[in-house]
Amino acid sequence: MQITAIERNWRLLWKGPAGKRFENYYRRNHKNGVGEGFWVRMFRLAVALVFLGVGLLLLFLPLVYIPFLLISAALLASESRSIARFLDHSELWLKDTWTRFRTRHGISRRGSKLIFATLGMGCIALAAYTFYMTLVR
């Protein structure tokens, strides 16, 4: 598979409709034959488990673990319909919970973007500080 095909696949996953994103990804992979072959599937599962392990090891650093866990989840969802459905339901639950929180506290969409940007930058700064202090000692 070429890089452009992988990139296209990830973009389709990212831009997919909420609540059907991962199940559509699973269907696309099995329709196109990506999931064929025992060794290909085992390799994909091994890579998913490695990313999951790295993500779990980085849990003590804020936000640093998220890309590893997302990649792991997407790889696992490409192999398991039940994991894909679980991820779709989790996404809908998170969106619904955030919408109720925003409505209850009167936070606009622009305000929520500001909250997430501030939180993200703070977590990146905290992770950088943690790495720096670990390396200096």
Position 36 scores a pLDDT of 64
Mean pLDDT of the residues in the chain: 85
The enclosing H or E element of 90 equals helix 81-105
Length of the chain: 137
* Phi, then psi, of 16 in degrees rounded to 5: -65, 160
Give pLDDT tens digits for 62-84. 777 888 888 898 888 888 899 99
Q: Is pLDDT at 97 greater than 90 in this prediction?
A: yes
Q: Which of 7-11, 74-78, 107-111 has the lowest mean pLDDT?
A: 7-11
Structure confidence at residue 114 (pLDDT)? 93
What is the residue extent of each domain of the chain?
Answer: 3-107
How far apart CA 54 and CA 49 sit, in angstroms, is: 9
Quick one: pLDDT at residue 133? 84
Report field, pTM of the whole predicted structure over 0.75: no
